[in-house]
Structure 1
Amino acid sequence: MAATAAGSYAAALADVAKSNNTLDSTSADVEKIEKLFADPQLYDFFSNPTIDAEKKRQLLDEIVKSSELQPHTANFLNILVDAKRIDLVKDIVKEFEMVYNKLTDTELAVVTSVVKLESQHLAQIAKQVQKLTGAKNVRIKTVLDPSLVAGFTVRFGISGSKLIDLSVKKQLDEIAAQLDLEAAVRAEKVEQFLDNEGLILDEESLEI
């Protein structure tokens, strides 16, 4: 039910943006909103039903000014507060991304790396994803993940179903898997040798 509501709100925002020819700038607004509400304290404040709506609107006004959101985006957030559906904002962001990507023939590629990649590197990645998908546009979203050690991964496609993994973590995992396999093979060969030589005693032979 919540997903359906989020989709309806996202579609409504996209319709407004499309009608006033601000799809791209509205998408930029939505990215700002996503980053803002990634803060647990901010999200908890707005999603808390016991906090007065007026206090939420006051804080929202400050956010709109500091983030330089467009008037229709600000109005949209106020509607969510008044309708007590601001708790859906994270789902709405995801739904809007899908609507926007479909309307603009845009492929979303999530690039995960240990450190922030240079813009020219991201441009090269976008070009490669465009070749693979045939999409008219490619939008890059970056994520930092120290566990990769080095290198990067690129996830794209429907629900991120396709993955290009150029991380050192993957290489280390492959090496570890190979070592485990080799160790298992060696152990099996040793056991087979001992068995052939009659050096392995079964439980019955140990009975007195």
Structure 2
Amino acid sequence: MAKLVASRYANALFEVGIEGDKLDILNEELKAVVDIFKENEDFLNILKAPLVSKEEKKVLVENVYKDRASLEMLNFLKVLIDKGRIGIIYEIFDEFKVLMNEKNNVLEAVAVTAVPMNEDMLKQLQEKLSKIKGKNILLKNEVDKSVLGGVLVKMGNEEIDGTLKTRLEKLQDKLSQIIA
């Protein structure tokens, strides 16, 4: 439910950005807003608190963001406060990123490895994935010692599993079928 609502707000902000030719600016501002909330969870908690009036919340947002954000972003935050939706700002940001990535032909991916990948390996994998998908790939590396070796690539709902752990599990399954 929250994802659907977040998607609607993200779409609305995206449309405002397209109409005003401010999409990149709104993207940066939304990221900055989210970063401030992450650094100051108490600030977000005040904006979510039912005991603080909506007018007080809007004045607070105005004071904090008036020199840091466009009028469109300020109005967007005020709408979220009026509708009681400021608590889903992180989900809205995630949905907005999806829209921006689609517009820019970008696909975010994560390469999970047992040890950190060096820059050259990461770049080579990124280039291969770009050719396969026909999109610009934003690749991050996460370390998980349980994969033992190889790489697990996660792109949206898709996974490419080339890990030693999976190969060993498949071998174990085959051996147990032979023995049984």
The root-mean-square deviation of aligned C-alpha atoms, in Å, is: 4.0
Output the CA distance in 2 between the equivalents of 1:33 and 1:113: 32
Q: CA deviation at 1:145?
A: 4.8
Q: Deviations over 1:93-115 (max 9, x none)?
A: 23212322332332232344567
Q: CA deviation at 1:155?
A: 1.8
TM-score by length of 1: 0.59
Go from structure 1 to structure 2 and tell me whether the alpha carbon gap of 1:70 and 1:161 turns closer, same or farther (over 3 Å shift): same
Instruction: State which drifts further: 120-129 or 93-102.
Output: 120-129
**What are the residue-to-residue correspondences of 1:33-72 with 2, within 5 Å?**
33=33, 41-42=41-42, 44-53=45-54, 54=56, 58=60, 62=64, 64=65, 70-71=69-70, 72=72
Kept after mapping to 2: 8 A contact 1:112/1:143: yes
Go from structure 1 to structure 2 and tell me whether the alpha carbon gap of 1:174 and 1:93 turns closer, same or farther (over 3 Å shift): same
Output the CA distance in 2 between the equivalents of 1:2 and 1:185: 48
Aligned length, in residue pairs: 177
Output the CA distance in 2 between the equivalents of 1:23 and 1:37: 21
**What are the residue-to-residue correspondences of 1:96-107 with 2, within 5 Å?**
96-107=96-107
Go from structure 1 to structure 2 and tell me whether the alpha carbon gap of 1:178 and 1:114 turns closer, same or farther (over 3 Å shift): closer
Counterpart of 1:124, as a letter, is Q
Go from structure 1 to structure 2 and tell me whether the alpha carbon gap of 1:96 and 1:81 turns closer, same or farther (over 3 Å shift): same
Q: CA deviation at 1:84?
A: 1.6
**What are the residue-to-residue correspondences of 1:121-136 with 2, within 5 Å?**
121-135=121-135
Bigger relative contact order, structure 1 or 2 (CA pairs below 8 A, ≥6 apart): 2
1:94 aligned counterpart, secondary structure: helix
Counterpart of 2:88, as a letter, is L
Output the CA distance in 2 between the equivalents of 1:103 and 1:52: 37
Q: CA deviation at 1:8?
A: 2.5
1:164 — aligned with what?
160
TM-score by length of 2: 0.66
| Long gaps (5+) in structure 2 | none
1:139 — aligned with what?
138
Kept after mapping to 1: 8 A contact 2:148/2:165: no
Output the CA distance in 2 between the equivalents of 1:155 and 1:172: 16
Q: CA deviation at 1:15?
A: 2.0
Higher-Rg member (1/2)? 1
Output the CA distance in 1 between the equivalents of 2:89 and 2:63: 16
Go from structure 1 to structure 2 and tell me whether the alpha carbon gap of 1:7 and 1:173 turns closer, same or farther (over 3 Å shift): closer
Q: CA deviation at 1:86?
A: 0.7
| Long gaps (5+) in structure 1 | 189-208
2:6 — aligned with what?
6
Query: Percent same amino acid at aligned positions?
Result: 25
